[in-house]
Amino acid sequence: MRFLGNDVVWDTANNRVLCRMNGVYETKDPREIEILSKLYEVDPTSLTKKELLDKYGGDPKMTKKELLEQL
């Protein structure tokens, strides 16, 4: 999943830097996704069709491309 932002994110549980964001940060780590999705905007193009429908709503009959065009 891709996140948009410019920042250093601190991991308080492990007392270390979680990641450094320079515009776009991409990760597949479920823990990072959980932490970052609470703090930063998600790049909608990195979401699946199901995730787009869950987050933004829309007609399930639409394609992913059509859902993105509506944003």
**4-31: pLDDT as tens digits:** 999 999 999 999 999 999 999 999 999 9
Domain residue extents for the chain:
2-70
CA distance 34 to 56: 18
pLDDT in tens, 36-53: 988 888 899 999 999 999
Q: Strand, coil or helix: what is 66?
A: helix
The pLDDT value recorded for residue 45 is 93
The H-or-E segment that residue 64 falls in is: helix 64-70
